[in-house]
């Protein structure tokens, strides 16, 4: 039996998968790095599956050479890939497992913004009957910033399902499955006439504060910013100022610089035109099952001595 430690929040999402995984003995483990590292040593575990919490220190001394730190998901900005490579530890993720769920989440957020569902529901809960006037999505323009697997699905749903006009921002040749009406290379060309701007770029160092005060000023007045990508790509202080001033209509975000969200001076939670969710983009039963199975497959491939077939983040 292959021993695998799975951080508790991830284990709880698809407990039935981990409890019945053939050939594996999966144990729930603490999410905090010091406690997880301690359990790795106690169990003599070679393989761990982790969520989005930061892992920067003890874990890399606890997991043995040739072991795997498997990311439950796609983003890897919480993993120290160079340090793992230095220690001879494989790091993997699960591409292809969550794209549909995140794309649907982004579209749902656009609907929240367009129809003011949150405000209307809150009014009803508080005993108020105040119908809100929203807008249709048909004929509106959506700027998709980053047309990878998720961005392309968002573009397809928006265009084919709602009749929106879609502008895609790309750095190279567009994917054949992205049905955007036009493609541009830069932010300003995409957002100038966009009613909604949806972010789908990685949380890499070069994208830190990508949505800056300057870029927010280039957005169409009254437009909405949608973020299901990474919190680090948005300057949250600049976003606060843009929302408070009414420069943009609002924002809906599922991701934040620090999670759980903690403001650094300017609290987005205080703004009526800011809608926040606790990083649930890929948290569907279907996606979580696919992610768990993909993470276990990577571990099995390592155990079989076939690292080249793994979804490696740090190929050596």
- What are the catalytic residues? 230, 259, 279
Cα(134)–Cα(40) distance, integer angstroms: 52
Residue 198's nearest CA partner among 242, 247, 251 is 251
> How remote is the C-alpha of 207 from its chain's centroid?
14
CB distance 251 to 240 below 8 Å: no
Element (H, E) at 245: helix 236-245
**Cα 208-209-215 angle, rounded to 5 deg:** 135
Which 3-state string (H, E, C) describes 89-112?
CEEECCCCCCHHHHHHHHHHHHHH
The interaxial angle of helices 99-115 and 149-156, nearest 10 deg, is 50
């Amino acid at each position: 039996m292959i021993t695998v430690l799975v951080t508790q929040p991830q284990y709880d999402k698809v407990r039935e998968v981990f409890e019945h995984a053939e050939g594996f003995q999966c144990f729930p483990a603490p999410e905090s790095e010091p406690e997880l590292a301690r359990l790795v040593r106690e169990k003599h575990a070679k393989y761990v599956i982790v969520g989005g919490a930061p892992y920067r220190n003890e874990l890399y001394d606890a997991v043995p050479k040739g072991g795997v730190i498997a990311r439950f998901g796609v983003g890897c900005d919480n993993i120290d890939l160079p340090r793992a490579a230095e220690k001879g530890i494989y790091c993997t993720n699960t591409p292809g497992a969550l794209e549909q769920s995140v794309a649907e989440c982004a579209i749902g957020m656009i609907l929240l913004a367009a129809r003011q569902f949150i405000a209307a529901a809150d009014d009803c809960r508080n005993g108020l009957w105040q119908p809100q006037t929203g807008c249709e999505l048909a004929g509106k323009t959506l700027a998709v910033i980053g047309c990878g697997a998720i961005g392309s699905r968002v573009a397809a749903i928006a265009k084919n399902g709602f009749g929106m006009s879609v502008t895609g921002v790309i750095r190279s040749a567009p994917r054949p499955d992205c049905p955007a009406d036009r493609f541009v290379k830069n932010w300003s060309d995409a957002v100038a006439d966009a009613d909604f701007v949806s972010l789908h770029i990685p949380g890499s160092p070069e994208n830190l504060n990508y949505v800056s005060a300057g870029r927010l000023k280039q957005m169409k007045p009254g437009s909405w910013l949608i973020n299901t990508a990474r919190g680090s790509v948005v300057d949250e202080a600049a976003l606060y100022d843009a929302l408070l001033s009414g420069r943009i209509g609002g924002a809906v975000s599922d991701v934040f610089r620090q999670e759980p969200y903690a403001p650094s001076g300017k609290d987005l939670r205080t703004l009526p035109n800011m809608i926040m969710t606790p990083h649930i983009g890929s948290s569907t039963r279907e996606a979580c099952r696919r992610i768990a199975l993909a993470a276990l497959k990577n571990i099995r491939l390592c155990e079989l001595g076939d690292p080249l077939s793994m979804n490696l983040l740090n190929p050596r």
